[in-house]
């Protein structure tokens, strides 16, 4: 069903002799891809492949043909599947304003089949080209968003690598809140209260306010020394009223 809808839309782009509304094309892209990077890229790849095929539908001029034309001063029209008159008739169907940039270009190329053929191909595929460019722009935007999202979600090394930021690399230095409670003979609620008030050195496993606490034995010992408390009993005296 999706393939059929895509083919119907492509047919609409190709059958229209006038420039379609960009907003209509843009809405189709959003509706069928939901701004999914892979879906946009898939549409772009298919569209560019179709454009390549359509640009070769009347014959394909290679780089060797261009070199040969420079030597001779003209292209071998046998490489083109249309005569100059046939190209002119096809272009006339588009009713291009002679004063427009495209009209001026056509007037300049009017007597040169190879150049006029390029004008015809541009006219026949103008909506498909617009579709391709809009897909490219959307893909570029989504690519930037992916890059920015990766940057924003980059983990904070201070919070994710305990050993790197700890004063010691010895894993036995790390203490849980239960171990701290046992060491200081205090309840968990009291430890949480002290941590919240920044009265005791502590760390969190993640940056959220509900992040699990952990401690470093060396920091706790240093903290006790700085407070000039040598024993647990002396420490507990602070909380006795």
Q: Taking a C-beta distance cutoff of 8 angstroms, is the pair 78, 65 a contact?
A: no
Q: What is the mean pLDDT of residues 101-109?
A: 93
Question: 46 and 10 in one domain?
Answer: yes
Residue 129 sits in the same domain as residue 179: no
The verdict on 118 and 46 lying in the same domain is yes
Q: What is the pLDDT of residue 235?
A: 57
Q: Is residue 184 domain-resident? A: yes
| pLDDT on residue 94 | 93
- Find residue 128's DSSP bridge partners: none
Write down the residue that tokens 């000039």 correspond to.
228
Answer yes or no: do 113 and 60 share one domain. yes
Based on the domain organization, do 10 and 60 belong to the same domain? Answer: yes
Give tens-digit pLDDT for 160-218.
444 444 444 455 678 888 888 888 878 877 787 787 777 788 876 654 445 577 788 88
In a domain? residue 153? no
In this prediction, residues 75-100 reach a mean pLDDT of: 86
DSSP secondary structure letter of residue 204: E
Q: Is the pLDDT of residue 226 over 90?
A: no
For residues 107, 108, 110 and 112, what is the CA-based torsion angle, rounded to 10 degrees? -170
One domain, residues 122 and 197: no
Residues 185 and 73 in one domain: no
Cβ(51)–Cβ(128) below 8 Å: yes
HSE-up of residue 136 (Cα within 13 Å, Cβ side): 8
Domain that holds residue 142: 1-147
Cα 125 to Cα 111: distance, rounded to the nearest angstrom? 22
In the predicted model, what is the mean pLDDT of residues 104-111?
A: 94
Enter the pTM of the model.
0.57
Q: What is the signed CA dihedral for 149, 151, 155, 156, rounded to 10 degrees?
A: -140
What pLDDT is recorded for position 172?
Answer: 64
* Strand ranges (E), 80-199: 174-176
137 with 214, same domain: the answer is no
């Amino acid at each position: 069903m999706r393939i059929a809808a895509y083919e119907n839309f492509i047919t609409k782009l190709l059958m229209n002799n006038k420039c379609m509304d960009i907003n209509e094309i843009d809405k189709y892209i959003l509706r069928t891809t939901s701004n999914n990077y892979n879906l946009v890229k898939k549409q772009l790849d298919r569209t560019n492949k179709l454009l390549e095929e359509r640009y070769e539908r009347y014959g394909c001029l290679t780089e060797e043909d261009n070199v040969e034309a420079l030597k001779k001063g003209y292209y071998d029209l046998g490489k083109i599947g249309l005569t100059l008159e046939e190209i002119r008739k096809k272009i006339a169907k588009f009713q291009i304003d002679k004063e427009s940039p495209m009209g001026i270009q056509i007037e300049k190329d009017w007597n040169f089949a190879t150049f006029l053929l390029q004008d015809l191909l541009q006219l026949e595929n103008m909506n498909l080209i617009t579709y391709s460019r809009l897909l490219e722009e959307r893909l570029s935007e989504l690519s930037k968003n992916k890059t920015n999202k990766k940057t924003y979600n980059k983990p904070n090394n201070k919070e994710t690598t305990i050993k790197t930021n700890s004063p010691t690399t010895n894993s036995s230095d790390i203490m849980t809140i239960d171990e701290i409670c046992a060491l200081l003979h205090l309840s968990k609620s009291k430890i949480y209260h002290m941590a919240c008030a920044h009265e005791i050195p502590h760390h969190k496993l993640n940056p959220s306010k509900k992040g699990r606490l952990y401690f470093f034995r060396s920091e706790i010992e240093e903290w006790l020394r700085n407070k000039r408390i040598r024993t647990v009993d002396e420490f507990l005296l602070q909380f006795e009223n």
